[in-house]
Amino acid sequence: MLPLIWKDFLLQKRTAYLYVGIGALFFFYLDAMDQRNMMAAMIPAFMIVYSFMNRSMAEDDRNHSLRLLVSMPLPRATLVRAKYASIGIVALLSLAVFLTAGVLAGAYSFRDPEERVLNLLILAVFTLVCTVLVSVFLPLSFKLGAVRAQTINRFVFIGMFMLGATFGTIITKLGNRLIPEGEPPAWIADLERLGDTFSGWSPYIGILALFLLALLIYAASMQLSIRYFRRRELF
């Protein structure tokens, strides 16, 4: 499987400098705009991962690499696992680089306990969101091809942003109606009691749960991609 992973990196060796340059410019832009938090590392890292994934799948389709590989004595599941492994390696390397650069530049710190919890929570939530986006695209790409999957994925992005904006508007309007001026309703007190119940729990448990959830989603996406790719007709 290692040669298949190495193939994905060799196909993009000419554009690797472009990915790093875009990520670095975006990182320093956020730092210059005083966005001194984990987002300064997560956004450029996600840009690199998503660009690598899109180009990797597109190159396989354009060069007919998948047709060549499936004609060889290689299980289709191995091809899928190699693709997921290469994307995972790029994600880990990108995060490691930008997190280290952010710490050295003083954009954020893990020394203060409160700041450490906040930064880790942002890292966990953003990792989960990015994992969901990647885990949606890859099965579509293995089932339909990179070009059709990219078209569908654009609508998924637009739908997610529209859904987020709509959800925020609904919550605001419901909050204005359900929380009138004066004494708050009884359900607010129930939520406060529920929060007190979990207040004794370590925040690191929730952060670890988010990372594990992201890992489970990625693994489930890989199994779904294997199932789709086994049924896909390439010839």
Q: pTM of the prediction? A: 0.76
Task: Tell me if 225 sits within 8 A of 80, measured CB to CB.
Answer: yes
Nearest residue to 38 (alpha-carbon basis) of 133, 131, 120: 120
In terms of Cβ atoms closer than 10 Å to its own Cβ (0-12, 13-18, 19+), residue 172 is exposed
pLDDT per position as a tens digit, 61-70: 777 777 788 7
- The residue that leads in pLDDT, 222 or 67, is 222
Domain of 81, in residue numbers: 2-231
Overall number of domains in the chain: 1
Q: How confident is the model at residue 43 (pLDDT cuts 50, 70, 90)?
A: confident
The per-residue DSSP string of the chain comes to -HHHHHHHHHHTTTTHHHHHHHHHHHHHHHHHTT--STHHHHHHHHHHHHHHHHHHHHHHHHTTHHHHHHTSS--HHHHHHHHHHHHHHHHHHHHHHHHHHHHHHTS--SSSHHHHHHHHHHHHHHHHHHHHHHHHHHHHHHHH-HHHHHHHHHHHHHHHHHHHHHHHHHHHHHHHHHS-SSSPPHHHHHHHHHHHHHTTS-HHHHHHHHHHHHHHHHHHHHHHHHHHHHH----
pLDDT per position as a tens digit, 90-110: 888 888 877 777 777 666 666
